[in-house]
Structure 1
Amino acid sequence: MLGCDEVVATTVRDARAGVAAGWPEWLAAESVQRIAAAGITAPWSHQGEFAELLFGGKHAIISTPTGSGKSLGYLLPIIAATVDQTVGVTVDSVRSRVTAPRHTALYLAPTKALAHDQARAAAALGPTGWRVATLDGDSDAAERRFAREHASFILTNPDMLHFSVLPNHERWASFLGSLRYIVVDEAHRYQGVFGAHVAQVIRRLRRVASLHGADPVVALSSATMPNADEFAGALIGEDAVRVVSQDGSPAGRRTVALWRPSVSLRTDTARLLAGLSDTGVQTIAFVASRQGAELVSVAAQERAVEPRRIASYRGGYLAADRRALEAALHSGDLCGLASTNALELGVDIAGMDAVLVSGFPGRIASFWQQAGRAGRRGQDALVVLLASENPLDAYLLEHPELLGESSIERAILHPENARVLGLHLAAAAQESPLTSADECWFGPATTATACALVEQGVLRDRRGRYYWTRPDRAVDFINLRSMGQRPLDIIEHETGRVLGVVDAVAADRTVHPGAVYLHQGESFLVEALDAEENQALVVASRPHYYTQAQSIFDIQILAEAGRKPLGGTKICHGQVRLDTQVLGYLRRDEVTHDVWDSTPMEMSARRMGTQAVWWTVPAHLVRRLGWPDARTGAALHAMEHTAIGLLPAFAPCDRWDIGGVSTALHPDTGLPTVFVHDGLEGGAGFAARGFEVADGWLRATLERLVRCSCADGCPSCVVSPKCGNANQVLSKPDAAELLALLLD
């Protein structure tokens, strides 16, 4: 396979031996024996270092590559605290064992699947009868009661902690009052607005634990990141967080290949997935979208000798479907899987030999997370990045050195997001009245924000104590994973079966009337979208096309936060208001992607406040060029698309996290202007990062415009899969000429 014409570059990392450490003195002999019986003869050096820091009471983050066994590092002190119930004490050089108070530990994962996977791993290492429980939206009443009243180690997610545990913390007093450790797994996932929400949930958790008499140590586990200490401190609200980053685990030989598809990205991905699966190479193909994962799975099944051994996996599946797929992977019944990044996290899938990354996932860190799904047992691993037709993938084919692990992006988190902070202070006030002393948890803006909430009628001030006085729950106004409403159910009309869910803010684009919805290889047509009932009704159908929404955008500058020179112009960033509306949709052939037709719709307009970076064309340059507005607009539109496509090479986002608007004359600047904005309410920090790295980012944009071999524009430079007006009115040559002049 590696000798194919499609392979444009390969890199090989040789196998390496591990560096072992000794078992901690504070871990009971019985626990050591149990862990050894599970096949672990000794911890690796990074696991031992992490465990010692945590047991010594230090907040710490372990930031090592995927598959390095980070879990054991935090499980050792948790087992010592919650199982052994004794600790080693040295008095006058004599070591003795004394009974310790009861301790508990809480584990947070960004997904249910990861929490259940880690619960299985913990149960395999701990003694029989160790009281380990998972707690999530799928837990029934008996499981929740056992977790609350009996469990020593609970594995859950931020959503469950936010909606269920913290508002009812008095019922959890015994568990929270004895909380010794908090584990934040896959911490790098908590970026942007989601990260800001989780940062405030962690602060609320630590505050409530303190109210019940506990001062837990926070253990964070993350993929490799260059600013692990800074990021971890921002996430948990601490200045001093220790970092363990030197990986001591062994690794097999790993080959990474860059693949330029000869037919299409989807076809080549399906062909490789089927071929590898048929030869017994257990393979995951990571596909960017839910729809894409379903289509790759269907195409691979059609090519495979044993189609039943290939399936799809994505977010939005119901719990029973997820569990069945995960079990089939563990058992080996499934040999090929087309997945979204729902399996990018540390779910320990044994025996995976190869990973296909179908289109660059937007971040180098995400690429290595996905690549790390193969070779987790030390065997040789194959990783293939199949380039999609977008500017960033084309840029990486020309610069494969940028995929090195040393190029992993800095993690971005802004927990002080005013909109997020206000919501969580209201929730904290309902949990226990706020005072100025709570600045130690929520920062110096606590009192001022609480006073603003009083003025808005959200809180009541009683002599410097701020109370929630409404009859409803504050947490019900907060969706951690978006700033909008609760997700919509997708329901099969004839049977009433709930197929999955979709975010309310994405419903207009994905489940509008007439849209094609895919689920586990089945396709459905959307009959109706009922926002008031939070549901979309669908019927089974195989129409042989897919749909793409068409939208219009308008943007207004609310406040400028920064400005600096950029070549012959200036670049700014700040707060903006974005108005969007879906006006129709395209039907596109599922094989050729050709547009069949366009259907108009009348959908409600949506308004969002967010952050943006923008640059203008100076008036003297407009006069010099003498272009009509239509030509200038086409150049700016093409420039905007390419810039959006390349920002993920410089900021930890992908093109679906950001958006853009360009115009030949913007009323707020009085000039031709290009905006690139965060795609989430309140902003996520990506546009601000674009402002910081603007020179390198826009020079790379110019390079892509100039070096792309097409004549008039293609998906590798200016054609965008997410363009709201179907890539009409684009001029690649004029975009290159104009950007070259702007950069001087």
Structure 2
Amino acid sequence: MHHAPDDRDLLGVLLRAVPAWQEPVTHVEHLAARAGTTAPWPRWVPTELREALGRRGVQEPWLHQVQAADAGHNGRPTVIATGTASGKSLAFQLPVLSDLLTDDKACALYLSPTKALAADQLAALEELRLPGVRPAAYDGDTPLDERDWVRDHARFVLTNPDMLHWGVLPMHQRWARLLRRLRYVVIDECHSYRGVFGSHVAQVIRRLRRVAALYRSDPVFILASATVADPAEAASRLTGFDAREVVTISADSAPRAARRFVLWEPPLVRDEDTASTGDHQDGAPVRRSAPKEVARMLADLVAERVRTLAFVRSRRAAEQVALSARRRLERTDPDVADRVAAYRGGYLAEDRRLLEKALDSGDLLGVASTTALELGIDIAGLDATLIAGFPGTLASLWQQAGRAGRGGEDAAEALVVFVARDDPLDTYLVHHPAAVFGRPVEAAVTDPQNPYVLGPHLRCAAAEARLTDDDLALFGDPDHVRSVLADLVHAKLLRHRAQGWYHVLPHHPAIDVDLRGSGAGQVAIVEEATGRMLGTVDAAQAPSAVHPGAVHLHQGNSFVVDELDLEQGVALVHSENPDWITISRSLSSVTILGSPTLQRIRPGVRMFTAAVQVTEQVIAYQRQRHSGELMDLIPLEMPEHTLDTRAVIYTLDPELLLDNGITEDALPGALHAAEHAAIGLLPLFAGCDRWDIGGLSTNLHPDTGLPTVIVYDGQPGVAGFADRGAAVFRPWLEATREAITSCECRSGCPSCIQSPKCGNGNHPLFKDGAVTVLDLVLGTREEEEGASPW
């Protein structure tokens, strides 16, 4: 039986185990409760649907649900962008199910970024037991014999963009019944479509609109999103509709419980008086890890019978946090130790359902989860949410925070704790509350016009039906689309005739297009002794992740790589539990292609964007004991990997640097440190993860002839993050400078200038020099002397 902690100070529970001399709380924000506002059912909603929803506990809809449902019912492209657990599903279910009930031929398509979310929607639809609606999932798990039934009979098909791209559009003739009768297309959790993936999905949606038009249908698009900046513009980029046509519903009228949102910085692992025992990283102090801190918090809250959800960044961390919390409870409160579990992708659907049910009912008190529970899976609000590390965007942060808060405005105050990792961005956020609470969430960064994205989808569209001049505007600026088509014709991938552009190759090009942007395919990780496949890794990442000798972790078990065969796409491993980890070392170079686009200039400093080619080669790996002790460096011979992408670049004149105290010897470390910190802070402005971007710094770049810092999109197919960095260049570098100067370390640490993915082992780095470099770029020093800024 669950006892709500109505009279309990949940933050006080977490602080009990913290020594008096430590102060991990950097800020507490109180978010007020809000009353809900209902509205009458629209007259067009059939009685049987109202009654079915009533049986599920929905007596009257919220105002924003009715506003969105009316817009969709009236044929307007609509985006509903309201908070977590605000009932966005009902907003699109009302018009869709009403039409399916009143017209026995109407059909609808539902797209979600994950199979789990589609399965959750399907369960909710089946629970309504509406006659004739025939909802069905169509994804990679759908058995072959069921796929025929879905194509021939289902009226509400729930799928994902990958399956639409590979399994529906290339064989649209087999889907003629659905496409001819397609009344609605629902795009759920559309804020998750960003970067390369979002750009690909935007072109898949355009192909869907075009194929539907071939069957003389013009479906209404309804998009559901977390709170995002400019929802109409984001919906426009994703669907191709003019933003002025899109109806935006963003005023949330659902009730919300009060929440206390805490920013928490874990303490240093040891104090300065303790002898060095390996608790330093490359000579810098480190903080207690966010997952370890959250595991302790999860156990302490569960011991108080507080229903708690802990979000972590990886599947491995989810398992480790749950295990650590259970072990702590076995010592302190064994009665509830088995009421903590992990939840992540990769679980069987039936196991996932059992976990969701147990969490929803209160039988399960604590769950450590990846972002699998961030999206709209229907779990009632919880007492507390713990967030181990910034999840990549403010939109995701608020989605996760929104899981806390049971009931409405009269419910007990819920607790949200954001626990910072030892990372420049996380450290910046916990010391700058206005960056969390005082600014709008990011715009979703996508670039459907990127030729690396547009070209492959124009090939796909031509394979689905010849392209004509009338189609070009759907895919973007017609002149730009025409130039990309000309390149495809020149490469003999399309043929141009008077009637249009035709596909010429024997296979449909969809099989060549990876929506997720990994580009180079996958390498299977196989246990040689048993033949068991443990998982996969992107081929581009394989030389650094599964090189010979690498230690690979899988479900808490360690394996060592014996052989990597990139041609066959396999890495052979054996089970072993060594007393060390491995870190790859690499050499990188960046070639600037074409004519750079100069964005800003000041005396001695230039900033521009450009197309670049990145070449990277793993040359060695380092073995490091778990204590931090360096064992050895072992050379490797891995193939070079090249990446065509875009970068934001700035250069400085050597004389300017010398005049400000940066000598030739100090310059590499200063530029390197400035580059690392900038990569760490760009996610705050560009809606990306630091692993989505890369960088290079050099005191003499062959293409510029100057000291140069480069930050580039780190995936095949340009994500748009570098160009976004150029657009927000000054605030981005101001935040970078602030992150470095406010860090209490003496010479650099993981919270400011060290990077977990540095190919050079975080050497050389010069913290004070990085501040000088950023001062010169920003013009701070000249401003102090009376010169005008940009």
Query: Structure 1 residue 271 and structure 2 residue 274: aligned?
Result: no
Q: How does 1:436-585 map to 2 (within 5 A)?
A: 436-443=469-476, 444=478, 445-559=480-594, 560-565=596-601, 569-585=605-621
The answer to whether the 8 Å contact 1:316/1:500 transfers is: no
> Which whole-Å CA distance do the structure 1 matches of 2:496 and 2:659 have between them?
60
> Which whole-Å CA distance do the structure 2 matches of 1:548 and 1:126 have between them?
54
Corresponding residue to 2:443 among 399, 410, 413: 410
The answer to whether the 8 Å contact 1:294/1:518 transfers is: no
In the TM superposition, residue 616 of structure 1 has moved relative to its aligned partner by 1.0
Where does residue 49 of structure 1 map in the other structure? 67
Answer with 332-341 or 28-37: which moved more.
332-341
Query: Structure 1 residue 693 and structure 2 residue 716: aligned?
Result: no
CA RMSD of aligned residues (A): 2.2
Query: Structure 1 residue 361 and structure 2 residue 391: aligned?
Result: yes
In the TM superposition, residue 24 of structure 1 has moved relative to its aligned partner by 1.2
Query: Structure 1 residue 139 and structure 2 residue 142: aligned?
Result: yes
What runs of 5+ residues in structure 2 fail to find an aligned partner?
1-9, 16-22, 270-287, 331-335, 780-790
Corresponding residue to 2:119 among 112, 116, 136: 116
In the TM superposition, residue 492 of structure 1 has moved relative to its aligned partner by 3.4
> Which whole-Å CA distance do the structure 2 matches of 1:569 and 1:274 have between them?
52
Show CA shifts across 1:552-607 (max 9, x none): 211111131232125752211121111112223334445x5554443332221110
Alpha carbons of structure 1 residues 139 and 653: separation in structure 2 relative to 1, 3 Å: same
Question: Counterpart of 1:629 in 2: which secondary structure?
Answer: coil
In the TM superposition, residue 705 of structure 1 has moved relative to its aligned partner by 2.2
Question: Counterpart of 1:558 in 2: which secondary structure?
Answer: strand
Show CA shifts across 1:96-152 (max 9, x none): xxxxx6111111111111111111122223525631111111110122122111111
Alpha carbons of structure 1 residues 14 and 351: separation in structure 2 relative to 1, 3 Å: closer
> Which whole-Å CA distance do the structure 1 matches of 2:135 and 2:438 have between them?
35
Amino acid across the alignment from 1:579: T
Query: Structure 1 residue 427 and structure 2 residue 449: aligned?
Result: no
Alpha carbons of structure 1 residues 667 and 315: separation in structure 2 relative to 1, 3 Å: farther
Show CA shifts across 1:303-340 (max 9, x none): 23355443434445566765565555456554333333
In the TM superposition, residue 221 of structure 1 has moved relative to its aligned partner by 0.7
Corresponding residue to 1:173 among 173, 176, 182: 176
Corresponding residue to 2:252 among 235, 238, 247: 247
Amino acid across the alignment from 1:572: F
Answer with 634-643 or 622-631: which moved more.
622-631
> Which whole-Å CA distance do the structure 2 matches of 1:458 and 1:333 have between them?
58
Amino acid across the alignment from 2:121: Q
Where does residue 237 of structure 2 map in the other structure? 234
Answer with 441-450 or 622-631: which moved more.
622-631
Q: How does 1:5-16 map to 2 (within 5 A)?
A: 5-16=23-34
Amino acid across the alignment from 2:150: A
Alpha carbons of structure 1 residues 405 and 473: separation in structure 2 relative to 1, 3 Å: farther
Q: How does 1:145-160 map to 2 (within 5 A)?
A: 145-160=148-163
> Which whole-Å CA distance do the structure 1 matches of 2:100 and 2:158 have between them?
14
Query: Structure 1 residue 632 and structure 2 residue 650: aligned?
Result: no
Question: Counterpart of 1:723 in 2: which secondary structure?
Answer: coil
TM-score for both structures, normalised by structure 1: 0.93
Question: Counterpart of 1:304 in 2: which secondary structure?
Answer: helix
Question: Counterpart of 1:718 in 2: which secondary structure?
Answer: coil
Corresponding residue to 2:329 among 304, 312, 320: 304
Show CA shifts across 1:241-280 (max 9, x none): 1110000001112111111113412321211122223333
> Which whole-Å CA distance do the structure 2 matches of 1:323 and 1:494 have between them?
33
In the TM superposition, residue 429 of structure 1 has moved relative to its aligned partner by 0.9
Alpha carbons of structure 1 residues 7 and 548: separation in structure 2 relative to 1, 3 Å: same
> Which whole-Å CA distance do the structure 1 matches of 2:564 and 2:43 have between them?
61
> Which whole-Å CA distance do the structure 2 matches of 1:686 and 1:402 have between them?
19
Amino acid across the alignment from 1:674: V
Corresponding residue to 1:2 among 11, 20, 25: 11
Answer with 325-334 or 416-425: which moved more.
325-334
Alpha carbons of structure 1 residues 544 and 178: separation in structure 2 relative to 1, 3 Å: farther
In the TM superposition, residue 609 of structure 1 has moved relative to its aligned partner by 0.9
> Which whole-Å CA distance do the structure 2 matches of 1:413 and 1:406 have between them?
21
In the TM superposition, residue 398 of structure 1 has moved relative to its aligned partner by 1.8
The answer to whether the 8 Å contact 2:136/2:154 transfers is: yes
Show CA shifts across 1:331-356 (max 9, x none): 65543333332332222233533221
Answer with 228-237 or 289-298: which moved more.
289-298
The answer to whether the 8 Å contact 2:489/2:496 transfers is: yes
Alpha carbons of structure 1 residues 618 and 583: separation in structure 2 relative to 1, 3 Å: same
Where does residue 82 of structure 2 map in the other structure? 64
Amino acid across the alignment from 1:387: A
Question: Counterpart of 2:173 in 1: which secondary structure?
Answer: coil
Query: Structure 1 residue 209 and structure 2 residue 245: aligned?
Result: no
Where does residue 349 of structure 1 map in the other structure? 379
The answer to whether the 8 Å contact 1:291/1:517 transfers is: no
> Which whole-Å CA distance do the structure 1 matches of 2:548 and 2:407 have between them?
47
Where does residue 431 of structure 2 map in the other structure? 398
Q: Among all aligned residue pairs of Structure 1 and Structure 2, give the percentage whose two residues are the same amino acid.
A: 48
Where does residue 35 of structure 1 map in the other structure? 53
Corresponding residue to 1:615 among 650, 659, 669: 650
Query: Structure 1 residue 371 and structure 2 residue 401: aligned?
Result: yes
Where does residue 622 of structure 2 map in the other structure? 586
The answer to whether the 8 Å contact 2:203/2:457 transfers is: yes
In the TM superposition, residue 211 of structure 1 has moved relative to its aligned partner by 0.7
The answer to whether the 8 Å contact 1:413/1:685 transfers is: yes
Show CA shifts across 1:480-499 (max 9, x none): 00151333333333443333
Alpha carbons of structure 1 residues 513 and 287: separation in structure 2 relative to 1, 3 Å: farther
Query: Structure 1 residue 22 and structure 2 residue 40: aligned?
Result: yes
> Which whole-Å CA distance do the structure 2 matches of 1:373 and 1:542 have between them?
37
In the TM superposition, residue 84 of structure 1 has moved relative to its aligned partner by 3.1
Matched length: 728
Amino acid across the alignment from 1:584: A
> Which whole-Å CA distance do the structure 2 matches of 1:56 and 1:709 have between them?
58
> Which whole-Å CA distance do the structure 2 matches of 1:381 and 1:167 have between them?
48
Where does residue 93 of structure 1 map in the other structure? none
The answer to whether the 8 Å contact 2:452/2:718 transfers is: no
Question: Counterpart of 1:505 in 2: which secondary structure?
Answer: coil
In the TM superposition, residue 406 of structure 1 has moved relative to its aligned partner by 4.1
Where does residue 281 of structure 1 map in the other structure? 306
Question: Counterpart of 2:682 in 1: which secondary structure?
Answer: helix
Alpha carbons of structure 1 residues 509 and 318: separation in structure 2 relative to 1, 3 Å: farther
What runs of 5+ residues in structure 1 fail to find an aligned partner?
86-100
The answer to whether the 8 Å contact 2:466/2:503 transfers is: yes
Amino acid across the alignment from 1:453: L
The answer to whether the 8 Å contact 1:31/1:126 transfers is: no
Where does residue 91 of structure 1 map in the other structure? none
Question: Counterpart of 1:538 in 2: which secondary structure?
Answer: strand
